[in-house]
Structure 1
Amino acid sequence: MRAIQFDQHGPIENLYLADIPVPAISPTECLVKVKAVTLNGFDPMVMRGILGLRTPLPMIPGADIAGEIVEMGKDVDSAQFSVGQRVGVDPSSDRGMMGETALGGLCEFVAVEASHLVAAPDAVDDHAVACLPTAYATAHRMLFTRGQIERGEKILILGASGGVGTCCIQLAKMAGCEVIAVTSSADKGERLLAIGADHVIDISTTDYVAYIVENYGKPRTRGTSGGVDVCVNYSGGEDWAKCFRTVRRGGRILTCGATGGYDPKTDIRYIWSFEHTIVGSNGWGRDDHEKMFELMANGRIAPVIDRVVPMSGIQQAMHDLQDRKVIGKVVLEVGEEQGESG
């Protein structure tokens, strides 16, 4: 079968199209024919190599997978799954995270434990199925399961044009919140307004802290007026300490990652004097995955897809993701095309 893989860390150009055997399945696994895969922010990071993370080589990238069951192990419950059934994949297991420490989905077939398959509703197409769970189910867990956002709250979303960010905009708007989205260009801002943001801050022209102070007041250590109720910050880096200046006394900072750096400076005076609550959220649960399918099937959430490209377009797609030229998700279709990657 065809697969995209890399056998050494380094530049994105290390990705290539290979011909490898179709995986054999165990009694508890299903063989899934891959239809579509989406990329995530950690994919270029894994390519470069992450300190402390052991990525076995060669590695196939791609954690978020839409597919169809073509073979079932003898111990798989036939009352739960069947050949021909459309499914999504939970990519995190005891074996590791697919595309990171376990082989990913940018190939024609994957062997998956049946316990890590999630039935895809008929109303959710393959491109939308492949947007779950790494970005969209993660956003659901961060905002609702962990963050407990409420109607009427003012929510500031940093890095709002990515997969997690675009989902956070829709989920927060669905919950009845006032949404302020931070992005890096006017073009991206227009797209974010179209998917539900009430206000957009373009950081190429406007400092987001100054914007919040001007429009919502300066947070004070006495009383709860001034600032936003919640700041979503999964970038870390230089924005970590900075974002505290936007959040009201008693407000919350939600985080599920650190794409801008995991060891930023901070100013703990803000945490105690403004009585901030910092809420961490690690990935997703199966209930978050299933809830997002339900919201998509009911038309309440529509995945934001930047583009759909063939599997051989991986190099350009990965470059654009790394260079922050993507709004939402890039879908790679796994079809019958031929040719070389890039």
Structure 2
Amino acid sequence: MAVSTSLPAPRPPHAADPEAGPLALCGREPHVPAERLVAEMVPPPRFDSVRFDTYVPDPAQPSQAEAVRVLGGFARGIGGGAPTAGGGKRRWFGFGGGGKAAPAGPRGVYLDGGYGVGKTHLLASLWHAAPAAPELKAFGTFVELTNLVGALGFQQTVRTLSGHRLLCIDEFELDDPGDTVLVSSLLGKLVDAGVALAATSNTLPGKLGEGRFAAADFLREIQGLAARFQPLRIDGEDYRHRGLPEAPPPFSGEEVKRTAYATAGASLDDFPSLLGHLSKVHPSRYGALCDGIEAVCLTDVRAVPDQSTALRLVVLADRLYDREVPVVASGAPFDALFSEDMLAGGYRKKYFRAISRLTALARDAKGLIAAG
């Protein structure tokens, strides 16, 4: 049966009438003040309550239990007072948990592994476990960190973060030469100021930028970044799908629309239109784009047309996953979003992560369809 053409159009972002229809992401153009960028540098809602003891290592992957042990020692070595410029005699890392000061060398830990092995869980657990006060710890994605520099300026960002004990950087990726030089300089200043670093990525630090730009031209900066971290490998399969049933197939457009109108706080957008809208909003604002959204409903999902669009979609998928926003979609399945060339290229791990996270959010949305 066709959906009634009398359904009202999706309401604008601030409409208060619950009968006016679902929200529309395409109608939102959020502006995020600089003070909010700093205040929100904490673990996102999905990882607000995680701790080391809530991480469940796979018995078949001993590197996972080892990562918990090593990071526990790292947290104990950070301390809770103000940072000491140059590191001083502070107990930096305590990687072995023995309480000895770390020798000169890397002043951070870098969690390397495939998507879905729990790296963000561990990074957020480290943030929570570090004894410093919340205002002396910062947690953000690589995109959010580079945007902070854009909003505050380089020197003000250095001054702001230099007062921290710990900086956690999730989804560390170097997608262009400008970011490489910027982040290398920023982290160098922060290390000199005594800030401990922790990062996650799907790429070993010495391989950052590989397959994306002429990394050889910026080898000195990339090697400088790698020297600031001790890599910690975490092996395993994607926990989001370990032992779980297959994700639901795409729903019909009628089901998606009915669900959007039946779910309080849901948004409803045509997928191609949403992709076009994302090009007008800076990726650092995608979190704000999702403010107040309880479910995302998408019609006519199809393969993304180009790599720039695909990378913007990856960031949106990350922000939806962070905020535990279920996704209901019609059209192509999520594993058909990216072309074979994309999945074989330099950004393949980002794309696989996006597929994994969107699939998990689609699974979370099954109850909404039933309710609708």
TM-score (norm 2): 0.27
Greater percentage in helix:
2
Higher strand share: 1
The TM-score, its normalising length taken from structure 1, stands at 0.29
